[in-house]
Amino acid sequence: MRKPFFTSAISAAALVLTSCGGGGGSNDFGGTPSPSPAPTPTPAPTGFVAPAQRSLTVADVQQVIAQAAGEAQARNLPSVIAVVDRVGNVLAVFDMNGSNKGSSEISVSSRQIGGIAGPGNTVGLQGAMVPASTAAIAKAITGAYLSSGGNAFSSRTASQIAQEHFPPAPTTVGLESGPLFGVQFSQLPCSDLSQRFNAMGGAASMIGPKRSPLGLAADPGGLPLYKDGVVVGGIGIMGDGDYGFDPNILDVDVSDEEAIALAGIQGFAPPASITANRISVDGTSLRFSDMVVSDLAPLQSNFAAINGTLGNLKAVTGYTAGPIIAGTAYGTEASGIRASKPSEFTNSDAFVLTDGTGANRFPIRGGTDGAANPSPLTDTEVRAILEEAFKIFSRARAQIRQPLDSRMQATVSVVDTNGQILGIVRTPDGPIFGTDVSLQKARTAAFFSNSVAAQQLLATPVVPGTTNVPAYVQRVRTFLDDPNALTGTVAFADRSGGNLSRPYFPDGEIGRPAGPLSVAQSSQFSPFAVGLQLDLVVPNIGAHLAFVRSNGASADTPQRCTQIPAIAGTGGQVRLANGIQIFPGSVPIYRGGKLIGGVGVSGDGIDQDDMASFLGLNNAGVRLGTISNAPKPIRADNIVVNLGNANVRLRYVNCPFAPFLDTNAQNVCEGL
């Protein structure tokens, strides 16, 4: 349903907004109004400030659920309500009587570019039935993971930035895809980085970041939760039986699920100054919520009055035992992410992932791939890459944070050619989603630049009627007119592979062929059917959903994604153990023209991510003289694809024009 009084006033011109515009009044979503400060001179970098340690109490969670359930009752939409903390621990799932139209299973949207897919014409996850609780959890995690002290994003924001055109609307056909195209298939239930719920309880059960059952959600109804301006979690609502996305930003939806979530965050809303509608990307204001506080019924906050009458707390296998628990405070040892120690990383502002006992989960180390690589990365080289990338973070202007001229906040990961983690470092307030995504990016660049990429894809099992990963190899070779493609002759950054993963090539131009790593036919594309990225992990997602719906009677997916063969002699290691990523922010690492690893960055604008990975590696190479970016002659931007009536060059990296806070330097990656 739409808000018709508003749609007639919306035009394409309304999309060209400043980073402080849009969205109506300062407290439309219940956040604290913040006056716009007067412009001040750009400061020199002086370091990051860690967010205050705040967390949701049991009473807080009860209030959030009661408020949401009251709005659901007022709207006659019994729903599943999920609440998580900032690192993804599920604090409660409340199942209202008669939720999701009386069914525990809901449907993934069958909407494609070509319309609603009929039976037998769906691809990927389109039309799949999934437990409603998993969709609610995914929405809650999306609100929590995409947000920070400088930006509050929602599952509606995720929908906007993950589709085939940005912004998604009937009048924007022909524009490039969303800046975070493909981000929905991160935080996967099979990820080797994401921690798993421990039903036995104890302190270790709260260590994050946790996995999401469906990755990140594009379905409106997931919002972040804040205390004292600090993100402390998220709420997700599943009530209408359809797990979908918003294909048109030019109207304003009447979204019952979003209204229910908005009621839930009252008293825990983000500051008005950082909601998505206060942040722009390429002149387009992002979207936070189409519902505002004035749309809501009077708030109900008495949990005792609804528990057992409107519904009940629900156990969800793999996520919660049922009773409400308190959240952890991000930045503490108990949360799984904390400030680094001097012995772990030289920059005192850095944060690392921890196991809860004081140990860094991913300490800096040298490469593990000596059997196939005679000159692996050393721990000194890994440290230099991480340090130089972190220096870029501290100097670079953020794209998706308020106030303007904030520093870039992100995560950087380094891997070897086996995809093994050699080190992960993050800024204090980087969005949590960037941790898993930076690792996906590093592994993707290292994998597709590897001499064994085609061999491993060709050896991946075909799932009849579901996935055919080997077929992508020939599609790439035919598309690039290169029978040796994916054998290590070309260095692929994530921007390069992303070019080949779009439903139109070149990106966004309708009437062009689908990229060879995308769906076979452009008309079949949706955020739930993207091509190779999803096909690599569909069996893992399916196994996990079966595990959840069977209450553990069937086996969960292993803690490693994809069905590509394990590396011989490594005890079962796989190169893509948390899937691949297809938006920019990574480059492969070379020594004397030979691939030795990959570096990935995620958490801020994609051009900033590109710059931090590319310049971080370049500067580490200058510092040490032993490693470098890929030699220019083998970079993917040497490839020109002949489309018959046009020649299109692949891209390698794209750095911001004038990105630094402490200098007016321009074109900082040019010539490197």
148 and 553 Cβ atoms separated by less than 8 Å: no
> The domain 336-451+583-631: what is its CATH number?
3.30.450.150
Assess whether pLDDT exceeds 80 at residue 505: yes
669 and 637 Cβ atoms separated by less than 8 Å: no
Averaged pLDDT for residues 495-515: 97
Same topology between domain 52-112+126-313 and domain 336-451+583-631: yes
70-125 per-position pLDDT tens digit: 999 999 999 999 999 999 999 999 999 999 988 899 999 999 999 999 988 999 99
What angle separates helix 58-74 from helix 256-264, to the nearest 10 degrees?
A: 150
Measured distance CA(496)–CA(437) in Å, rounded: 16
456-477 per-position pLDDT tens digit: 999 999 999 899 999 999 999 9
Assess whether pLDDT exceeds 90 at residue 9: no
b/e sequence 343-377, b meaning 16+ C-beta within 10 Å: ebbebebbbbbbebeeebbbebbbbbbeeebeebb
pLDDT of residue 14: 30
Q: How confident is the model at residue 2 (pLDDT cuts 50, 70, 90)?
A: low
Q: How confident is the model at residue 6 (pLDDT cuts 50, 70, 90)?
A: very low
What angle separates helix 606-624 from helix 379-395, to the nearest 10 degrees?
A: 130
Assess whether pLDDT exceeds 60 at residue 41: no
625-664 per-position pLDDT tens digit: 999 999 999 999 999 999 999 999 999 999 999 999 999 9
Measured distance CA(585)–CA(613) in Å, rounded: 6
Q: How confident is the model at residue 46 (pLDDT cuts 50, 70, 90)?
A: low
pLDDT of residue 205: 82
Measured distance CA(318)–CA(189) in Å, rounded: 10
Averaged pLDDT for residues 488-495: 98
Q: List the one residue out of 256, 273, 276 whose CA is nearest residue 264.
A: 256
358-379 per-position pLDDT tens digit: 999 999 999 999 999 999 999 9
With residue 494 as reference, give the H or E element that holds it: helix 494-499
Write out the two tokens for 656.
Answer: 């911001």
Query: Phi first, then psi: what are they for 268, rounded to 5°?
Result: -135, 25
Averaged pLDDT for residues 309-321: 97
52-112+126-313, superfamily in CATH? Haem-degrading domain (3.30.450.150)
Give CB contacts under 8 A, 24+ apart, made by 520-525.
Answer: 520/475, 521/114, 522/113, 523/112, 523/113, 523/114, 524/112, 524/113, 524/114, 524/117, 524/121, 524/123, 525/112, 525/113, 525/164
DSSP for residue 64: H
pTM (predicted TM-score)? 0.95
pLDDT of residue 4: 41
pLDDT of residue 218: 98
Q: Residue ranges per domain, the chain?
A: 52-112+126-313, 336-451+583-631
pLDDT of residue 233: 98
Averaged pLDDT for residues 554-577: 96
Measured distance CA(18)–CA(15) in Å, rounded: 9
b/e sequence 105-119, b meaning 16+ C-beta within 10 Å: ebbbbbbbbeeebee
Measured distance CA(531)–CA(520) in Å, rounded: 8
Query: Phi first, then psi: what are they for 184, rounded to 5°?
Result: -60, -25
Averaged pLDDT for residues 257-275: 98
pLDDT of residue 24: 33
406-459 per-position pLDDT tens digit: 999 999 999 999 999 999 999 999 999 999 999 999 999 999 999 999 999 999
pLDDT of residue 32: 77
Assess whether pLDDT exceeds 80 at residue 587: yes
* The amino acid at 560: R
414 and 386 Cβ atoms separated by less than 8 Å: yes
Per the prediction, the chain carries an average pLDDT of 93
350 and 48 Cβ atoms separated by less than 8 Å: no
What angle separates helix 132-145 from helix 538-549, to the nearest 10 degrees?
A: 120
